[in-house]
Copies of this chain bind each other. A is one copy, B any other.
Amino acid sequence: MQTHTYTRNATLVGRAKRVVPGGVYGHQSAARLPDGFPQFFARGEGSRVWDVDGNEYIDYMCAFGPIVLGHRHEAVERAVDEQRRAGACFNGPTEYWVHLAELLVEITPHADWAWFAKNGTDATTFAVMLARAHTGKKQLLRARGAYHGSAPWCTPRSAGVTPEDQANQIFYTYNDLDSVRQAVAQAGDDLAAIIVSPFRHDAWFDQEEVDPAFARGVRELCDETGAVLILDDVRAGFRIDLGGSWVPIGVAPDVSAYSKAIANGYPLAAVVGREELRAAAEEVFMTGSFWFAGAEMAAAVATIQTLRATNAIAHMKRIGQMLRDGLDAQARAHGLRIRQTGPVQIPFLTFVSDQHFERSFTFSSEAAKRGVYLHPWHNWFLSAAHTEEDVAATLEITDIAFQVVRQVHGEG
């Protein structure tokens, strides 16, 4: 098995460093990834991506979530092509504005209206603003370490952020209802909202499924206080349940924020919410130059209809379980202790004996060099295009990667 070479990638990385701060910034920077991870990509098709050197990968990141049906899904591309023939953007939305809002309201038990933007951060920001407008209160409760976007109020790094930008926030611990109760008490009569992700998916940590009792408790605290319960479904949305990621545990938020997978890779974000919050949503002023464009909304309608018609989430669960079982068996066979956490369709793997992700770096590096793209410190994503054959091909390569981990770092 031949491993990859990265000549063209290295040239582009050098050129990028001259004209872009850091070369590539943000979550898609490869600067904190080991050898074998390319920075620049050329194309994708189904479950596969190719980098600028023509190296092929089975893609378990799916653009960090957006690609939920596979790259270049036919129905989505057809919908986008049709709208693109009409034009990029106009002085108002196209009729897909209405089609998509109606579809989101139809599939979401707790939603009476929908609202659109471009970034996931736009959606979480709007959700927080509308909660403050609705309640007339200021305090926002967030889980310590959770990622809700990268605007001044929520970016995880402090550079350029003032204390005032992150004022009016109280932190709780995910899945610890007592810590939420304490935060609610601290907020006193100034509690606007509790924002929560459907499960714990903080980078650099094992994922943690939500405790249904925690979710019910948070819902009750919001009911008691009049606070708005915001589900940040940006990362998990459309992979757990089409009605929202807490439908399986029977807990309904007041508003949900979506982005990433909503349009299979095309730039779109959405907030959906209850009737009671409509007036506040009308008052908050957020808008953007490209928020009314039709092609992305046509893509979202096609994506959601395809997910529903093909029962795609069940397929992702089945394939995800195969991958998890296969990796578990391989790790055991190599005498390596791993943890696989989170939903099988949004998987993550860490090594129990790692101090600083050293085995994860070796493992993901060896896999990438041979054509399997698995991230060492951020959760992965499956798509509906992933097949049993993909998993089988993946496991051939991860078997070698585990073997190298064992050779380099020893048993454990």
Contact = CB atoms under 8 A, between A and B. Distances in A.
Interface of A: 12, 15-16, 19-22, 24-28, 30, 38-45, 49, 52, 59, 61, 63-67, 71-72, 77, 80, 84-95, 97-98, 101-102, 104-105, 112-115, 118-122, 125, 128-133, 138, 150-153, 155-157, 159-162, 164-165, 167-168, 234, 259-260, 264-267, 278-293, 296, 373
A283 B160 contact: yes
A282 B30 CA distance: 14
Contact of A153 (B118, B152, B287): B152
A274 to B, nearest CB: 11
A16 B98 CA distance: 5
Contacts of A373: 91
A267 B265 contact: no
A299 to B, nearest CB: 8
B282 A155 contact: no
Contacts of A44: 86-88, 90
Given A87-B45, A259-B289, A133 B159 contact: yes
Contacts of A119: 118-119, 122, 288-290
B120 A289 contact: yes
Contacts of A77: 84
**Chain A interface helix/strand/loop/mixed:** loop
Nearest to A155: B285
A21 B115 contact: yes
A125 B129 CA distance: 17
Q: Which of A59, A153, A165 has the most CB of B within 10 A?
A: A165
19 contacts: A12-B95, A20-B101, A21-B115, A21-B278, A21-B282, A22-B281, A24-B92, A43-B87, A61-B91, A64-B289, A66-B289, A88-B264, A119-B122, A119-B288, A131-B160, A132-B161, A150-B286, A160-B283, A267-B267
A282 B115 contact: no
Nearest to A76: B88
Contacts of A264: 88
Contact of A24 (B86, B93, B279): B93
B42 A265 contact: no
A19 B291 contact: no
A352 B343 CA distance: 64
A72 B86 CA distance: 8
Given A42-B94, A88-B264, A119-B122, A132 B162 contact: yes
A130 B160 contact: yes
Contacts of A291: 26, 28
A374 to B, nearest CB: 11
Q: Which of A15, A21, A102 has the most CB of B within 10 A?
A: A21
Nearest to A259: B289
Contact of A150 (B45, B153, B288): B288
A69 to B, nearest CB: 11
A155 B267 contact: no
Contacts of A152: 125, 129, 151, 153
A292 B128 CA distance: 26
A72 B87 CA distance: 6
Contacts of A98: 12, 15-16, 19-20, 40
Given A102-B15, A259-B289, A290-B66, A25 B92 contact: no
A295 B287 CA distance: 23
A238 to B, nearest CB: 13
Contacts of A162: 132, 138, 167-168
Q: Which of A16, A52, A89 has the most CB of B within 10 A?
A: A89
Contacts of A265: 87-89, 290, 293
A19 B101 contact: yes
Contacts of A290: 66, 118-119, 265-267
Contacts of A278: 21
Q: Which of A26, A59, A290 has the most CB of B within 10 A?
A: A290
